Amino acid sequence: MDGEKLRTMNVLLIDDDESIRIAMEYYFKKKTRSFFTLEDAETALSLIEKEALDIIICDYKLPGMNGIDFFKMVDSDVIKILITAYAGLEVASEAGRVGVHDFIQKPFTTKVIKDSLGRLIEERRPFRISENGKIK
């Protein structure tokens, strides 16, 4: 993963499991411009009104609103990753329909998230026009 690109990004993790929030924050805090952790989607909606986010990692099963319903309300320019222990085909299909970029099954390691972020950041490079007028 290109660590330089990640260092310029604001990342939000929403998960009601405190151990996941602590582990992810410990790992990513110094690798991002800012790394926020919250335990519910309703609070996250308030945060995204105040903060420009580049990446949101959200658990599917949360108290109150679930991760898919939350992602329906999120700007399409944000990289969206859904994490879940409920990795059925129905959840994965619905996640794809609402614009989720990656679907990661629990339990996972920080390496899995890091690899996903690296791939997604690389895929979202802005296109450039070369000297000969072709899009790169």
pLDDT value of position 133: 45
- Is pLDDT at 136 greater than 80 in this prediction? no
Give the rounded percent of residues in the chain with a pLDDT score beyond 90.
Answer: 71
pLDDT value of position 9: 94
Could you read off the pLDDT of 8-42 as tens digits, one per residue?
999 999 999 999 999 999 999 999 999 999 999 99
| Domains assigned to the chain | 3-122 (3.40.50.2300)
63/32 Cα distance (integer angstroms): 27
Contacts 24+ apart (CB under 8 A), 33-38: 33/7, 33/8, 33/9, 34/10, 35/10, 35/11, 36/10, 36/11, 36/12, 37/12, 37/13, 38/12, 38/13, 38/14
- Is pLDDT at 106 greater than 80 in this prediction? yes
6/111 Cα distance (integer angstroms): 14
Task: State the pTM of this model.
Answer: 0.88
In SS3 terms, 76-131 reads as CCCEEEEEECCCCHHHHHHHHHCCCCEEEECCCCHHHHHHHHHHHHHHCCCCCECC
Rounded average pLDDT over 61-89? 91
